[in-house]
Structure 1
Amino acid sequence: MKLTVLGCYGPYPKAGGACSGYLIEDENTKILIDCGNGVLSKLLTICNDLNKLDAIILSHLHPDHMSDLMVLRYAIYIKQMLGRMERSIPLYLPANPQEDYERIQYNGVFTRNIIHDATEININNMRITFRKTNHPIECYAMAFEKNGKKFVYSGDTKYFDGLIDFIRGSNLFLCEANILHKDLTDNVPHLSAKQASEIALNANVKRMILTHFLPDINTLDIANEAKEVFPYILEMAEEGKCYFI
């Protein structure tokens, strides 16, 4: 499997950057994970033919993870009108908040599929499972498995022990690290770099990419905090960079 980072910032992008968005693919599958602000433009630079997109999965319906979906639906619709696309794109997402879920549909461009805790789907022999996280709205971590390899994306979350078991056995863990631990309060619905590292270490994960950075934060500080806990392969997500699993 190959992971391409399209956007790695939240809850808003830095200048020229994008919010959460990732493309996971293998030799015959392309799946877009999240579609925050700025992601569509980044996606089209590497996948200009939307017919090649097998599915879209949204971890949750906060704008920094789905706002560009509202523009992507126009692109799909226009291509359908011009006869360049004949199918709708499968979209997997939570059903809540309901008002956000309802307004996503547009002229049938998506085939919506609601995800729940422990939902399991199969796309071109790629097995995908979900685990509800600890976030103010319904949100899911997701695991992708194929050919004996496992990749897990944390989605957005505060610390919770259930994530440790969910990521166990991962070859690559893509985890949000939105803040430094010294700045963490009960009102912050995200993981610190220290917490992300503790989760990975306790799950015996040997390779982790941190993501979902505040645009004004120094990612070197995030990396240094994580390295104090996590002694294995650690990288900071970079837009446009590919990672192989």
Structure 2
Amino acid sequence: MRLTVLGGCGAWPTATQACSGYVVEDEGFRLLVDPGYATLPRLLTHLSVDAVDAVLLSHGHPDHCADLNPLLRARGLSDAPPPPLPVFAPHGAADAVLALDKPSMLADAYELHEFSPGDRMDIGPFRTDTWLLPHFVPNAGIRLSTSRATLAYTGDTGPSPDIPRLAEGADLFLSEATYLRQVPSSGDAPYLLTALLAGQYAQQAGAQRLLLTHLWPGTDPSDALKTAAETFSGPVDVAVPDLAIAL
């Protein structure tokens, strides 16, 4: 299994960093997870649009799904359109981005497979387990497993006892870490994580490696690394474009 980071910036993209977006590959199957703002240009430096085999959304916020629209346009409006792209999303999570164009325009470009967080499904070679984790909208924590490796991903979430279960024994735990030590707004605190807490959950889960993502724009990655290392004894990295990790 191989993870390639397209972006890991929270909320909006910057001049050097796209929002959340990851390609997970195994056995030649390429799964695009969370094509957020500005991820398509990064994707095109690695793959052609018709090389994507499926898309998986954790939730419906645009910094996790907005570039599904140009991806579908690039496939569906090409001179030789590829087969419909399977899109897996929590119920209603893809509605807004799919409504950006009239339904007939991209109707043949995708097949929508909706699920409820908590469901298990197979996507290509990946056994995909999901958890409902707390966020402003329904969010699916995602665990992708093969016979050789396991990747756990929080999507966007606040504190939850389910997070260590999601990440239990994972080869790589990809965790949102919007802030360093404390979520500044009490109203946001139930729905976002810190680098400190991400490290704590990784330690509790016995994860082999921690990858921090969804940092607030302008956050110094070295500060996030140092903070997570206070609570996690294993290797820690920050999701930056083109980072590739073999599990």
2:230 is aligned to 228
Question: Is the CA contact (8 Å cut-off) linking 1:184 and 1:192 kept in structure 2?
Answer: no
* TM-score, L = length of structure 1: 0.93
SS in 1 for 2:9: coil
What is the RMSD of the two structures over their aligned residues, measured on CA atoms?
A: 1.7
1:189-204 map, 5 Å: 189-204=191-206
> Does the aligned pair in 2 maintain the 1:167–1:173 contact within 8 Å?
yes
**C-alpha distance after superposition, 1:105-156 (max 9, x if no partner):** 6323110011212222223332111111100101111111112311111100
TM-score, normalization by structure 2: 0.92
Residue of structure 2 equivalent to 1:55 = 54
Q: 1:131 to 1:109 in 2, by over 3 A?
A: same
1:213 aligned partner: 215
State the alpha-carbon separation in 1 of the partners of residues 186 and 235 from structure 2: 29
Q: Which residue of 1 aligns with 2:89?
A: 93
Q: Which amino acid aligns with 2:167?
A: I
The AA in structure 1 aligned to 2:244 is C
In 2, the alpha carbon distance for the partners of 1:125 and 1:200 equals: 25
The C-alpha deviation readout for 1:207-240, integer Å capped at 9, x for no partner, is: 1110111121111111111111111111111211
95-104 vs 189-198, greater mean Cα deviation: 95-104
Equivalent position amino acid for 1:77 in 2: G
1:243 to 232, 242, 245: 245
CA 1:7 to 1:185, structure 2 compared with 1: closer, same or farther past 3 Å?
Answer: same
- Local SS of the residue matching 1:185: coil
Q: 1:22 & 1:168 partners in 2: Cα distance?
A: 21
1:134, 1:175 → 2: CA distance?
14
Write the distance in 2 (CA, Å) between the matches of 1:96 and 1:4: 27
Matched residue, 1:161: 161
- 8 Å CA contact retained: 1:95, 1:101: no
Say whether residues 1:173 and 2:169 are aligned partners: no
How far is the alpha carbon of 1:158 from its aligned partner? 0.3
Shift in Å at residue 94 of structure 1?
1.4
The percent identity for this pair of structures is 28
Matches within 5 A, 1:1-245: 1-48=1-48, 50-79=49-78, 82-85=79-82, 87-96=83-92, 100=96, 103=99, 106-188=106-188, 189-245=191-247
| Range moving further from structure 2, 53-62 or 107-116 | 107-116
1:143–1:151 contact (8 Å) kept in structure 2 = yes
Give, in whole Å, the separation in 1 of the partners of 2:154 and 2:208: 16
**Structure 2 vs 1, CA of residues 36 and 97 (structure 1 numbering), >3 Å: closer, same or farther?**
closer
Is the contact made by 1:157 and 1:191 (CA closer than 8 Å) also made in structure 2? yes
Q: Which secondary structure does the structure 2 equivalent of 1:142 belong to?
A: strand
Q: 2:59, 2:93 within 8 Å by CA — same for their partners in 1?
A: no
Structure 1 residues not aligned, in runs of 5+ = none
Alpha-carbon separation, structure 2, partners of 1:67 and 1:101: 6
Q: Distance in 1 between matches of 2:183 and 2:162?
A: 24
Q: CA deviation at 1:206?
A: 2.5
CA contact (8 A) 2:10 2:19 kept: yes
Q: Distance in 1 between matches of 2:235 and 2:30?
A: 26
Distance 1:60 1:182, change over 3 A: closer
Shift in Å, 1:101: 6.6
> Cα gap change, 1:75/1:98 in structure 2, threshold over 3 Å: closer, same or farther?
closer
